[in-house]
Structure 1
């Protein structure tokens, strides 16, 4: 998806026709969102199989709320067996919460941009030099969504493994 977003961005920047450039830029926002979404969905599915089919709108809630229940249960078990201490518990839950919240916020922003791109054609993209924007969203920032999602997902997996759930 990111490759397609990159190509669409390149085409939007090189297109002299404003309407075509707008359509291409909108599509690039869309592809960057889907790249971040699919990376996150795949990661969540590897963490717990029943999370594989989680709907777009539910993923931020899962990241902010849903991860905590299985994590707390696993940490309690690790505490009882002496594999973790109270300091580990606090650090792991804090890291999990911060990482999940950061990824959830990224996905909410990306989803909002995607909704604008897909469903509000009356709001046009603007171009200033090599910068395409849609309302307050910059395509250069959207291009970073998949990489940022990968980074946060890698952190989630590291925490999940440390908790003993992978």
Structure 2
């Protein structure tokens, strides 16, 4: 998906016709979003099989609540059984919250851009030199969504393993 986004971005920037450049730029936003979404969805499936099928709009809430809740329950049991020190448990829970929130915010922003790109054709892209913008979203930022999602998902999976859930 990311490759397709990059090609669409390249075409949008090189296209002389404003209408076609807008269409290509919108599609690039869409592909970058889906790339980040698919990376996140794969990670969620590794954490818990049923999470893989969470709807797009529900993923930020899952990241902020369900992941935290499950981690908190398991960590409390480990502390109660003497398998983990309370300090380490607190650090892991803080890490889960921090990384989950950052990923949720990334996906919310990306989803907002995707919705505008797909469902609000009256909102035109704007070109400023080699930067394409859709409202407040820059395509140069959107290009980073998949990589950032991958890094954050990797961090979450590591924390998940450190908790003993993977």
TM-score (norm 1): 0.98
* Counterpart in the other structure of 2:3: 3
Cα distance in 2, alignment partners of residues 71 and 101 from structure 1: 14
* Counterpart in the other structure of 1:110: 110
Cα distance in 2, alignment partners of residues 146 and 65 from structure 1: 22
Is residue 2:2 matched to residue 1:18? no
Moved >4 Å (runs of 4+): none
Is residue 2:124 matched to residue 1:124? yes
The CA deviation at 1:77 is: 2.6
Residue 157 of structure 1 aligns to a residue whose secondary structure is helix
Cα distance in 2, alignment partners of residues 136 and 80 from structure 1: 48
The CA deviation at 1:81 is: 3.5
* Counterpart in the other structure of 2:87: 87
Cα distance in 2, alignment partners of residues 65 and 81 from structure 1: 24
* Counterpart in the other structure of 1:133: 133
Residue 53 of structure 2 aligns to a residue whose secondary structure is coil
After superposition, the CA RMSD in angstroms is 0.8
The superposition leaves residues 114-142 of structure 1 with CA deviations (integer Å, 9 ceiling, x where unpaired) of 01100111111011111100111000000
* Counterpart in the other structure of 2:27: 27
* Counterpart in the other structure of 2:37: 37
The CA deviation at 1:78 is: 1.9
* Alignment map for 1:68-87 (pairs within 5 Å): 68-87=68-87
Cα distance in 1, alignment partners of residues 157 and 82 from structure 2: 22
Is residue 2:151 matched to residue 1:151? yes
* Counterpart in the other structure of 1:65: 65
The superposition leaves residues 75-124 of structure 1 with CA deviations (integer Å, 9 ceiling, x where unpaired) of 12322343310101110111100110000000000000001100111111
Is there any run of 5+ residues in structure 1 with no aligned partner, and where? Answer: none
Is there any run of 5+ residues in structure 2 with no aligned partner, and where? Answer: none
